[in-house]
């Protein structure tokens, strides 16, 4: 009964605050995976990879998003966020439902330039990926730019 009340409150808040990204699931049980083609890159390269969410629960899991962007990638050096991907998202409500065992893979190619079109300098960076529903866990991998 408590979980039903929590679901009702979550749905009510999502409808009330449509400007926020809301994720509603029947049951937590997803697996997130970030795969990078390379973790050592040259200055000016393009980072290629995939972010995958898999439903490991015995229930269908649904995620709701307040924009066309269903996932987010950020690249930081620990103190500064250099890249937020994607940068532009349409203001439409979208959703993702996964049955037991189903996966959704998002492929990406990100130029290693900051949001002001400056080349990322040599150094160590962290690539973080999550669903764009404000409830998702974050998975991360380290890269080196030489």
The better pLDDT of the pair 37, 78 is held by 37
Percent above pLDDT 70 for the chain: 81
| CATH, residue 136 | 2.60.40.2360
The answer, yes or no, to whether residue 107 has pLDDT greater than 80, is: yes
The answer, yes or no, to whether residue 128 has pLDDT greater than 80, is: yes
The better pLDDT of the pair 143, 28 is held by 143
Structural domain boundaries enclosing 129: 2-145
Q: Do 89 and 73 meet the contact criterion of CB atoms below 8 Å apart?
A: no
- CA-CA-CA-CA torsion for 83, 144, 32, 86, nearest 10 degrees? 20
Is-above-0.75 flag for pTM?
Answer: yes
Q: How many domains does the chain have?
A: 1
Task: Look up residue 123 and give its two tokens.
Answer: 């150094």
Instruction: Choose among 61, 66, 67, 63: nearest CA to 17.
Output: 66
The better pLDDT of the pair 71, 29 is held by 71
Mean pLDDT of 77-92: 91
Task: Look up residue 98 and give its two tokens.
Answer: 């996964």
Percent above pLDDT 90 for the chain: 71
């Amino acid at each position: 009964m408590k979980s039903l009340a929590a679901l009702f409150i979550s749905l009510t808040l999502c409808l009330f605050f449509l400007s926020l990204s809301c994720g509603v699931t029947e049951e937590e049980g997803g697996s997130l995976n970030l795969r990078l083609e390379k973790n050592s890159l040259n200055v000016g390269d393009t980072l290629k990879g995939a972010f995958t969410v898999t439903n490991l629960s015995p229930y269908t899991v649904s995620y709701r998003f307040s924009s066309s962007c269903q996932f987010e990638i950020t690249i930081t050096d620990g103190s500064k966020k250099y890249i937020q991907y994607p940068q532009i998202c349409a203001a439409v409500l979208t959703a993702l439902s996964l049955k037991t065992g189903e996966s959704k893979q998002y492929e990406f190619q990100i130029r290693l330039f900051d949001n002001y079109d400056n080349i990322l300098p040599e150094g160590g960076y962290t690539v973080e990926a999550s669903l764009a529903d404000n409830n998702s866990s974050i998975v991360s991998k380290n890269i080196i730019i030489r």
